[in-house]
Each structure stands twice: as structure tokens, then as C-alpha cells.
């Protein structure tokens, strides 16, 4: 049985618990203690707005990170069919090993129950634009009704921009 009270019984390494040293240490006396982390300013958690949530989902599908059926139930009209046609071509795919990220997403509400949004997507040194329209149904759920990428409307049957 170990007589060292800083280590649990059976522990074989020489390090003890992480705590502040009881006295001054010299540079040659062993590892330095870890400085306490700075306190972070606490901010209240803001839930994501619908257009931000949809921008992340559209990016995941159009970059090939998620399958198109992930958007099933979150689209209306021809939007799902358009995504199903475009997803295999992955128009927002990674370039030179850089995974695409959402840089900015803003939305405007031109009418009650409608949000028109735009997002900028960066992958490496390339930046793309995406615009989409959300409509709120009678069940209060938001659904994507249209998507445009880089000024070109994403239509079924048309090849995606390269």
C-alpha cells in the first residue's frame, strides 16, 4: 500500500493532483502549475433564427456533407426536387481541402410568414453567395420554398454552377 497521500492507491505515475503549489517553485523543481482560466463574459443564449438554421442545412446538403433527404419535410413546392437534382453535383463542395463554412447570413421579412435570406459561404479562397426563401405554414413551421446560388436559380435539370 502506498504511503503517498497525494496519489490514489495503485497509481504509478509521479504526478499528483493539479492544484496550486503550497510554496514558491523554482524553474528546475518540476512542471509549472496551470494558470487559472480567464472568466468569460456570460451572454444569454440566443436561439438561432430560422434563416440561419436553414442556411446551415442547405450548405450541408449542397456541399455533400449531408444527403438531400435530410431536407425532406423542410421544403415545399419544387424546392426539394431541385435539391434532389443538384445535390449529386455538390455545387458548394470543398475546394483544395477547405471545408465550406457559413460566413454571414442575413434575412428580411417582406411579409408576415415569409423570410427572404442571403448567405455568404467561404471555402478556401473562394466565396459563394446563396439566397433562399422561407415560408411559414399553418403549423407554424418554416419551410424552404426557393434557393438561388451565385445569382443562378437552382432549377431541376440544369447543371449547377462550377
Among 84, 82, 50, which residue's Cα sits nearest to residue 67?
84
C-alpha cell of 148? 438561388
**Could you tell me if 130 and 160 are in contact, meaning their C-beta atoms sit under 8 angstroms apart?**
no
For the residues 133-139, what does the mean pLDDT come to?
95
C-alpha 20 chain-centroid distance: 37
**Could you tell me if 85 and 157 are in contact, meaning their C-beta atoms sit under 8 angstroms apart?**
yes
**Could you tell me if 81 and 157 are in contact, meaning their C-beta atoms sit under 8 angstroms apart?**
no
**Phi/psi at 141 (5° precision):** -95, 140
Q: Give the pLDDT confidence score for residue 3 in this predicted structure.
A: 57
For the residues 7-19, what does the mean pLDDT come to?
64
The model carries a pTM of 0.64
Whether the per-residue pLDDT at 117 is higher than 60: the answer is yes
Amino acid at each position: 500500500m502506498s504511503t503517498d497521500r497525494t496519489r490514489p492507491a495503485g497509481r504509478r505515475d509521479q504526478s499528483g493532483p493539479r492544484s496550486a503549489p503550497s510554496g514558491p517553485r523554482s524553474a528546475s523543481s518540476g512542471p509549472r502549475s496551470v494558470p487559472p482560466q480567464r472568466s468569460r463574459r456570460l451572454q444569454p443564449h440566443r436561439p438561432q433564427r430560422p434563416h440561419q438554421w436553414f442556411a446551415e442545412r442547405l450548405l450541408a446538403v449542397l456541399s455533400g456533407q449531408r444527403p438531400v433527404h435530410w431536407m425532406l419535410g423542410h421544403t415545399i413546392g419544387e424546392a426539394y426536387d431541385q435539391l434532389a437534382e443538384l445535390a449529386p453535383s455538390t455545387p458548394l463542395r470543398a475546394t483544395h481541402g477547405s471545408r465550406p463554412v457559413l460566413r454571414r447570413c442575413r434575412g428580411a421579412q417582406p411579409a408576415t410568414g415569409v423570410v427572404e435570406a442571403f448567405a455568404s459561404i467561404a471555402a478556401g479562397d473562394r466565396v459563394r453567395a446563396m439566397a433562399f426563401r422561407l415560408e411559414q405554414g399553418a403549423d407554424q413551421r418554416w419551410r424552404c420554398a426557393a434557393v438561388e446560388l451565385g445569382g443562378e436559380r437552382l432549377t431541376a435539370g440544369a447543371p449547377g454552377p462550377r
